[in-house]
Amino acid sequence: MKLAIVGLQWGDEGKGKVVDYLARDFDYDVRFQGGSNAGHTVQYQGKKYIFHLIPCGLLNKNVIGVIGTGCVFDPAVFVGELGDLKTYDPDVEKRIKISKFAHLIMPYHVLLDKIREETTQGIGTTKRGIGNAYEDKYGRVGIRVGDLYYPEQFKEKLKANISRKNVILMEIYHAEPLSETEIYEQYMEYAEKLRPMIADETTILAGAVGKNIIFEGAQGSLLDIDFGTYPFVTSSHTIAGSVSIGCGLPSVCVEKVYGITKAYTTRVGLGPFPTENEDAMGKNLRDVGKEYGATTGRPRRCGPFDVEVVKYAARLSGVTEIVLTKFDVLGSLKTILVSIGYKNADGFDPFLASRLEPVYKEVPGFMTDISHIRKFVDLPAQAKDYVHLVEEYTNLKVKYISVGPDRDAMIKV
Ligand code: IMP
């Protein structure tokens, strides 16, 4: 089976938990876009693991994790994350492949992202240098992971980049210039540490005939560079169409796509969010759902489930089955609002996103802790009704329901 996992909202849908849960049946877990802006939280055996860059299926020791070509790769973050993961599996390095085609995030990307966010209006990025690294990639001046192993070539590219970036840093932002030598030495050290993991993932995956591959999307469909709420988006394609170019497999490689959606909606960073709720409901969701960014710690904006957003995202990725996450969080609400459409539009349209007026349906809450429940039949009637309502309005089948952060807190419907 070749299965893609994509988020149907603005990220943080719980893709990490779903990948960790499903990965026991897979041989490979491939990240195909994004970088250390991702914040996938996985709780296993009472311990919380936060993955930013490393594929989070790796807690399953049968899995080989691949960081694909479509990703932007920050070696500093990777080395730190690897250290944490080694406390779980000292041999985890043997199960990680990093694409030599992936672009490197350099210190100037991170610095410029921070400065731009702090000195201009900004869009509320994670300040991880993601957009800046993709800018260089598409501007054809980026440096790739594979360049690390040709030191002269790496040095030349670094020199050209540093001279341009230092002009921007000094002339526009009146900041200190960066040292080419320091960065060179630092990256040569990383190169040695990373050497056993560097690969051409396209040949590995092409040879994985008959193997099960899970493609782990990061961020969410509404953060897609083209189809999201531009310009308040990330700099990569977050929809399932991105899998193929993100790891070099033919476009027919994906057999199935699961869409992951919270039972409500959240967004972190700036930009339109039609069902944002700043009243008691939104506050309750934030408190009970512990809605704070895994990468930045920022409080997430919260609101009701938006049927049209999920339908829009599902269409873009060919999703027919969804995983409904954080369902237990709704257990503290007396009544639950669901947006079933808009007064002023037929469906979700990113160009209208800041002006859309949701039409709400109010349904009774289930007012009980459902986090221990593992079978759909055991859910309270109002909870079952909510799931059926989501299915009816989105025209999508709910395949799994997550009722808590632990791996086994999952209901197969
Ligand atoms: P960037 O990806 O850091 O450039 O940030 C661009 C936008 O995407 C900002 O609104 C971020 O908050 C958002 N974003 C990036 N990564 C994630 C994520 O993993 N979850 C949720 N939002 C994200």
Just give the CATH number of 261-412: 3.90.170.10
From 116, 234, 273, 301, the mutation candidate for ligand 1 (largest count of ligand atoms within 8 A of CB) is: 234
pLDDT value of position 149? 98
Mean pLDDT, range 18-32, rounded to an integer: 97
pLDDT at position 40 over 90: no
pLDDT over threshold 80, residue 295? no
12 among known catalytic residues: yes
- The phi, psi pair for 362, rounded to 5°, reads -105, 125
C-alpha to C-alpha distance for 121 and 409, rounded to whole angstroms: 41
268 lines ligand 1 (CB under 6 A): yes
DSSP secondary structure letter of residue 137: H
Pocket test for ligand 1, best of 9, 15, 37 (most atoms within 8 A of CB): 37
Q: Which CATH architecture has domain 103-194?
A: Orthogonal Bundle (1.10)
| CATH code matching the domain that covers 2-101+197-257, chosen among 3.90.550.10, 3.90.1170.50, 3.50.50.60, 3.40.440.10 | 3.40.440.10
Q: Give the residue range(s) of CATH 3.40.440.10 domains in the chain.
A: 2-101+197-257
Predicted pLDDT of residue 67: 98
According to DSSP, residue 105 is labeled P
Q: Where in the chain is the domain with CATH 1.10.300.10?
A: 103-194
Single out the residue of 213, 211, 199 nearest to residue 55, CA to CA: 213
Mean predicted confidence (pLDDT) in 134-142: 98
Average model confidence (pLDDT) across the chain: 96
Q: Which H or E run contains 160?
A: helix 151-167
402 lines ligand 1 (CB under 6 A): no
Residue nearest to atom 1 of ligand 1 (CA): 125
The rounded Å distance from CA 393 to ligand 1 centre is: 28
> Higher model confidence: residue 320 or residue 273?
273
pLDDT value at position 47? 85
Q: Which residue has the higher pLDDT, 294 or 53?
A: 53
pLDDT for residue 41: 85
- The residue to which tokens 């459902």 are assigned: 370
User: Is any ligand 1 atom within 6 A of the Cβ of residue 29?
Assistant: no
Confidence of residue 38 (pLDDT cuts 50, 70, 90): confident
- Reply yes or no on whether the pLDDT at 111 is more than 90: yes
**Of these residues, 20, 29, 40, 52, which one is catalytic?**
40
CATH 3.90.170.10 domain locations along the chain:
261-412
State phi, psi for 236 to the nearest 5 degrees: -130, 175
- Please state, in angstroms and as integers, the Cα–Cα distance from residue 300 to each residue in 26, 273, 306, 370, 390, following that order: 32, 12, 16, 23, 23
SS3 content of the chain, % helix, strand, coil (to 5): 40, 20, 40
Confidence of residue 5 (pLDDT cuts 50, 70, 90): very high
Q: Which atom of ligand 1 is nearest to the CA of 38?
A: 19
| Residue-wise pLDDT tens digits, 341-400 | 999 999 999 999 999 999 999 999 999 999 999 999 999 999 999 999 999 999 999 999
The response to whether residue 221 sits with its C-beta less than 6 Å from ligand 1 reads no
Specify the range with the lowest mean pLDDT, choosing from 42-51, 92-101, 197-206. 42-51
List, for residues 170-224, the tens digit of each pLDDT value: 999 999 999 999 999 999 999 999 999 999 999 999 999 899 999 999 999 999 9
Distances (CA, A) of 87 to 91, 94, 112, 261, 375: 10, 14, 33, 31, 34
